[in-house]
Amino acid sequence: MGRYVARRLAGAAPTLFVVSVVVFLLAQLAPGDPVVRMLGSFATTQEIDRARAEMGFDRPLVVQYAAWLARAVQGDLGRSITSNLPVGQMIAERLPRTLGLALLAVLVSIAIGVPAGVLAAVKQNTGFDQALMSFCMLGLSVPDFVTALLLVIVFSVELNLLPSMGYAPLSDGIGAYLSHLAMPSLSLGFMMAAVTARMTRSSVLDVLRQDYVLTARSKGLTETQVIERHVLKSAMIPVVTVIGINFGAVFRGAVVIETLFSLPGIGRLIITAIESRDYPLVQGCLLVVVTIYIAINLAIDLLYACLDPRIRYQ
């Protein structure tokens, strides 16, 4: 197991390096001049050149990248151009809020998608199965921001049960925390639940056709015992993949959802940084998000080895 983990960690290092290059270039090649935006349109050419030299923007891209990477490896992501605050500090303040939203959204997708997919597979070609497929098509077709607006209309405007915007930290109580994240997490989790349900149904159907499942039934086990003891563990590997992909996709959806619900997470921070051409902040946010995504994929690989020990020796 230790050798398997070492191989996966060694494979993640080059990926992270390539990602750092792409993140740096994307931020640098974006249109607009952050120095001009910071100093204002009335700044003179001499003032702009002096500020650019102080920030190191007058050096070649290779030199800028090497300096940025050397600092990033040590945990220093630079300082924000617009606020002059450490980028790491700004991300550390916002990231837990987005991670909380992502975790709740994934839990929603698992709580809805996995049981629904298992039941649909067991009751294949019944009314429940057809209803689930219709639900999945609806979930895959409706964008998350449309779901968010519908939830706001129902639960905030009509029923006045949940706040339509803002954020409450855990220090204010678990009730306030969950009430502010309920609609955002449902908005993101609805589409993911549809994907999870489809994959669970397909995976369970494949396992139900295996010979060892027929053998388990011939021994007199009930259908529930067959599902719990012999089907679920084998069927979960593709489902775990989808869940991991969904967790990473939450960060993409968080950009829209956090803006819509006025959640001060890393998604809104990225939008603000892009609008202000704050290169260090954009680079730091993207690098952290991609690193989390790589870590999720690594965790999925390790979970594969727990679900199926044969994978460790491949």
- Residue 121 has which token pair? 């597979």
> What sections of the chain are H helices per DSSP?
2-28, 34-39, 45-55, 61-73, 87-122, 127-141, 144-151, 174-208, 211-218, 223-226, 232-260, 266-275, 279-307
Q: What mean pLDDT is predicted for residues 166-173?
A: 84
Q: For residue 252, name the pLDDT band (cuts at 50, 70, 90).
A: confident
pTM to 2 decimal places: 0.80
The pLDDT of residue 225 is 79
Lowest-confidence range among 53-62, 136-145, 183-192?
Answer: 53-62
Mean pLDDT over the full length of the chain: 81
pLDDT in tens, 85-127: 888 899 998 888 888 888 899 899 899 888 888 888 888 888 8
CB neighbour list of residue 118: distance below 8 Å, 6 or more residues apart: 200, 201, 204, 227, 232
Extents of the domains making up the chain: 2-73, 92-313
Judged against a pLDDT cut of 50, whether residue 220 lies above it is answered with yes
In whole angstroms, give the CA distance from residue 93 to residue 263.
12
198-202, 278-282, 307-311: which has the highest mean pLDDT? 198-202
Judged against a pLDDT cut of 80, whether residue 280 lies above it is answered with yes
Q: At what angle do helices 279-307 and 87-122 cross, to 10 degrees?
A: 40
By the 8 A CB rule, do 116 and 133 touch?
Answer: no
Q: For residue 68, name the pLDDT band (cuts at 50, 70, 90).
A: confident
Judged against a pLDDT cut of 60, whether residue 310 lies above it is answered with no
Q: For residue 9, name the pLDDT band (cuts at 50, 70, 90).
A: low
Superfamily of domain 92-313: MetI-like (1.10.3720.10)
Judged against a pLDDT cut of 50, whether residue 313 lies above it is answered with no
The pLDDT of residue 305 is 67
34-38, 88-92, 248-252: which has the highest mean pLDDT? 88-92
Q: What mean pLDDT is predicted for residues 294-311?
A: 72
With a pLDDT cut of 70, the percent of the chain lying above it is 89
The pLDDT of residue 70 is 86
Q: What angle do CA 192, 228, 234 make, to 5 degrees?
A: 65
Q: What mean pLDDT is predicted for residues 4-13?
A: 68
Lowest-confidence range among 76-85, 87-96, 185-194, 246-255?
Answer: 246-255
Q: What mean pLDDT is predicted for residues 282-311?
A: 77
Q: What mean pLDDT is predicted for residues 62-83?
A: 84
Q: Which residues partner with 79 through β-bridges?
A: 86
